[in-house]
Amino acid sequence: MTSDPPAHLPPEVLREWLQEVVSLLGVDQQIDPDRDIGAILDLTRHVSHTVVRPAGPLTMFALGLRLGANLGPGEAVGPALADLDPQIRDLATNQGRAMIEQWREQ
């Protein structure tokens, strides 16, 4: 019998998990776990709570595709993430909410 993992893990567990995933996927870009994990989780939370919960992971998937396509090997993820963050937040706040309201009215 397995038990569910705890809802909140220490940061070092998330850093280790990220390193494992990055290694598995062969990601060549430079990731700063101390800064980038927090930024990604915060943005995911914003989209999930502003639009609908499944929109958070879908947004991060699209963001990952964009970053992977536009950043070369060894380039830092943080600056590109910081540039896109306000645009994604604006989209979620303005258009995401409007899309949900429009859907509810149908």
Q: What are the angstrom distances between the C-alpha of 51 and each of 42, 79, 92, 103?
A: 14, 25, 6, 12
Q: Is the pLDDT of residue 5 over 80?
A: no
pLDDT of residue 10: 85
User: With bands split at pLDDT 50, 70 and 90, how would you rate the model's confidence at 1?
Assistant: low
Average pLDDT value for the chain:
91
Q: Look at residues 47, 60, 45 and name the one whose alpha carbon lies nearest to residue 90.
A: 47
With pLDDT > 90 as the criterion, what percentage of the chain qualifies? 76
Mean pLDDT of 25-35: 93
pLDDT of residue 22: 94
Q: What is the pLDDT of residues 41-92, one digit of tens each?
A: 999 999 999 999 999 999 999 999 999 999 999 999 999 999 999 999 999 9
Q: Tokens 């019998």 sit at which residue?
A: 1
Q: Quote the CA–CA distance of 55 and 57 in Å, as a whole number.
A: 6
Q: Quote the CA–CA distance of 49 and 95 in Å, as a whole number.
A: 14
